[in-house]
Amino acid sequence: MSFGDPNNPYGPPPQQQPPAPGYGYPQQPPAPGIPPQQGYPGYPPQPAYPGYPGVNMVPQSMPGLLVTARVFLYIISAVQILAGLVYLYIAAFVNDVSDAADSYSSSSDDPFDGIGDIGDAAAGLIAGIGIFALALAALSITLGVKFGRGGQGVRITTVIYGALGTIVGLIFLFVGLDTGMASAIIFPLLWVVFGAIITAAPVVSSGTAWFARPRY
């Protein structure tokens, strides 16, 4: 047997392979000029999926101020409906009176001559006010209903509508203050408060986020 035979029991022991680095044995420093061998890098921490801008800011339910403004819109619509119906009833009554006056006038010298035309004009004006009040009531109800899924158009319309209502309420409030009657002050004051809340609700940050939220 030769000493080169690996099965020779009298030969030198076979050389052992150096252990792989990283298993409890210190690694040999790399030779100068040779970059160290890099092991398999671990998986870097995966960043979380970024949310859409403002996702965490989207309210899950309608803000309380918007709910209050919605209730005020419904209350205002009820008042407008009642006012419109009253004006239409008055217009019908005035029209009946003017027709009766026309039936009693028989000549141009009659003192009732011309009252019928004035009554017809007054009835038409009062009826127009009643129809306008009913149209405002429809707008108030529509805005209140659209608060649930409305967008920027509903928001802007509500702000303008509330601001105009506040201005009208202030005008009647100043007139009531001049009269000094409590009954002429309370109703315009309530109207101003309602209008101010309806105007402010879509403008504050919570209202803006509600109308700008994504819809699916």
Tens of pLDDT, residue by residue over 126-151, are: 999 999 999 999 999 999 999 988 88
pLDDT higher for 44 or 92? 92
Tens of pLDDT, residue by residue over 64-94, are: 999 999 999 999 999 999 999 999 999 999 8
State the pTM of this model: 0.67
Overall average pLDDT of the 17-45 stretch: 52
Could you write out the DSSP letters of every residue in the chain?
Answer: --TT-TT-TTSPPPPPPPPPTTSSSPPPPPPTTSPPPP-PPPPPPPPPPPPPTTTTTS-SS--HHHHHHHHHHHHHHHHHHHHHHHHHHHHHHHHHHHHHHHHH--STT-TTTTHHHHHHHHHHHHHHHHHHHHHHHHHHHHHHHHTTT--HHHHHHHHHHHHHHHHHHHHHHHHHHHHT-SHHHHHHHHHHHHHHHHHHTTTSHHHHHHHTS---
